[in-house]
């Protein structure tokens, strides 16, 4: 594990550095508080630190306050090393943001034990952050396909519409529905149907730009939000999506499954934020219905919402 050791005494710095290296630490050193603060603020900076109280430019408590004021993630564990032994000084150091302290001279065994405590706390924090991110992911993503779920993709669409009002730019939406998907479930079973949905999701993601959004709208329907995409660009993008789905059979466990998608596309030129988002979705749904009625595996473009939304 990487650790920062900050001490303006070069002899003490080298001694602690060698001791920690023997214990398996990757040691980064600093000779003053300002240098230490810069190291801790770097993207790949150490998360475990041993900081001397008295240093030029920025002392240990000052360094603690600066680190804590940034509210950085992940957490940085700070162990203060000090010759001060009064309870007032210790309390001030802890109030400044230190997690623990050691008085000089310190026994190597005690230093190692306290650093191990810091490592355990950091490991616990990592697990809590991982659990939090997993909960956040589950709350916003579809379990089967890992795409944005319905609530999340609609939230993203609202945000994109608001941005388009500020930027005076267009937003386009593709409402995509897999053709004859019920037949896939009826003939091959729902597990194969799930495989198809997962494969289609991957193809959808691969056919749009990195800053576009793809969500599972419901069942075998998907919603694609395309920012700053209109006219020829929209036609090109919509055809890319359609071809990505029907370009080759999906290799399911039961064998190859041919599939295609019908798409209803609509562009918003000037969105009126007082309008319900359902008006936009209704336009896309009507265009999708026309694509289905016309024989499927095609894109139908609804009229721009510019006249409606003004």
Name every residue whose Cβ is closer than 8 Å to that of residue 123 and which is 6 or more positions away in sequence: none
SS3 49: strand
Q: Does the bond joining 105 to the residue before it have cis omega, within 30 degrees of 0?
A: yes
Q: Strand pairing of 26-30 and 100-103?
A: unpaired
CB atoms near residue 17 (< 10 Å): 18
Indicate the helix (H) or strand (E) that contains 53: none
**10-22 and 108-140 are packed helices; what angle lies between their axes, rounded to 10 degrees?**
70
User: Comparing C-alpha atoms, which of 42, 52, 223 is closest to residue 150?
Assistant: 223
Angle at 110 between CA 114 and CA 120, to 5 degrees: 20
Cβ density class 47-84: b for 16+ within 10 Å, e for less: bbbbbbbebeebbbbbbbebbeeeeeeebbbbbbbbeb
Whether the Cβ atoms of residue 214 and residue 147 lie closer than 8 Å to each other: yes
Catalytic residue among 220, 221, 240, 269: 220
Instruction: Identify whether 269 is a catalytic site residue.
Output: no
CB atoms near residue 191 (< 10 Å): 11
**Which residues carry out catalysis?**
220
């Amino acid at each position: 594990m990487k650790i920062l050791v900050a001490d303006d005494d070069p002899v003490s710095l080298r001694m602690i550095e060698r001791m920690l290296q023997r214990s398996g630490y990757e040691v980064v050193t600093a000779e003053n508080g300002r240098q230490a603060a810069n190291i801790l603020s770097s993207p790949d900076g150490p998360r475990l630190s041993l900081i001397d109280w008295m240093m030029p430019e920025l002392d240990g408590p000052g360094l603690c306050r600066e680190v804590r004021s940034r509210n950085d993630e992940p957490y940085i564990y700070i162990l203060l090393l000090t010759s001060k032994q009064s309870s007032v000084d210790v309390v001030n150091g802890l109030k400044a943001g230190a997690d623990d302290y050691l008085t000089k001279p310190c026994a190597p065994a005690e230093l190692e034990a306290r650093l191990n405590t810091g490592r355990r706390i950091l490991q616990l924090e990592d697990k809590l952050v991982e659990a939090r991110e997993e909960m956040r992911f589950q709350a916003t993503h579809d379990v089967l396909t890992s795409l944005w779920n319905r609530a999340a993709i609609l939230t993203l669409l609202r945000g994109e519409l608001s941005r388009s009002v500020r930027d005076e730019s267009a937003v386009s939406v593709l409402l995509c529905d897999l053709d004859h998907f019920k037949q896939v479930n009826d003939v091959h079973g729902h597990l194969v149907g799930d495989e198809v949905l997962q494969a289609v999701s991957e193809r959808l993601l691969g056919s749009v730009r990195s800053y576009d959004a793809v969500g599972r709208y419901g069942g075998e329907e998907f919603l694609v939000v395309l920012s700053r995409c209109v006219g020829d660009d929209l036609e090109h993008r919509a055809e890319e999506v359609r071809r990505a789905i029907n370009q080759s059979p999906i290799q399911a466990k039961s064998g190859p499954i041919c599939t295609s998608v019908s798409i209803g596309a609509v562009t918003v030129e000037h969105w009126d934020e007082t309008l319900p988002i359902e008006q936009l979705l209704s336009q896309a749904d009507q265009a999708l219905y026309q694509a289905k009625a016309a024989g499927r595996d095609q894109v139908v473009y609804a009229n721009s919402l510019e006249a409606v939304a003004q």
